[in-house]
């Protein structure tokens, strides 16, 4: 697995047994997960060079694993509490047309 610019927070959900190559422009982000390799660089420059060296692999299990991780991540995001509540809220002083009501 190649991770580009990933923060590897608690929501990442990558098991420790997965072999990961991590590419990031911020060296502080490197080393937060047991990587096969950590590459310090701009993903837009580094990734095309790495892909030139890698051959495609047909493994449906990998695609299934990624789809499951994405589904789990989406469910976690749906349940997460926002850091900042929305700026808009219903007010008894507003009418449905959005015009402030008053005397």
pLDDT of residue 87: 61
Q: Which of 2, 48, 40 is nearest to 21 (CA)?
A: 2
pLDDT of residue 95: 55
Q: Kindly list the strands in the beta sheet with 2-4, ordered across the sheet, starting from the edge strand earlier in the chain.
A: 2-4, 21-24, 37-40
Burial 71-92 (b: 16+ CB within 10 A, else e): eeeeeeeeeeeeeeeeeeeeee
Q: Residue 12 has which token pair?
A: 């990442």
Find the mean pLDDT for residues 78-98. Answer: 61
In a 13 Å sphere around the CA of 10, the CA atoms on its Cβ side amount to: 3
pLDDT band at 91 (very low <50, low <70, confident <90, very high): low
pLDDT band at 57 (very low <50, low <70, confident <90, very high): confident
Query: What global pTM score does this model have?
Result: 0.49
**Average pLDDT over the chain, rounded to whole?**
75
């Amino acid at each position: 697995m190649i991770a580009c610019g990933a923060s590897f927070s608690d929501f990442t959900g990558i098991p420790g047994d997965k072999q990961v190559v991590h590419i990031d422009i911020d060296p502080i982000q490197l080393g937060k997960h047991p990587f096969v390799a950590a590459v310090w660089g701009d993903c837009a420059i580094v990734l095309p060079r790495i892909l030139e060296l890698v051959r495609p692999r047909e493994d449906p299990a990998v695609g299934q694993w990624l789809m499951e991780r994405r589904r789990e991540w989406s469910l976690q995001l749906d349940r997460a509490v926002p850091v900042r509540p929305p700026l808009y809220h219903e007010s008894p002083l507003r009418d449905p047309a959005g015009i402030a009501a008053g005397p």
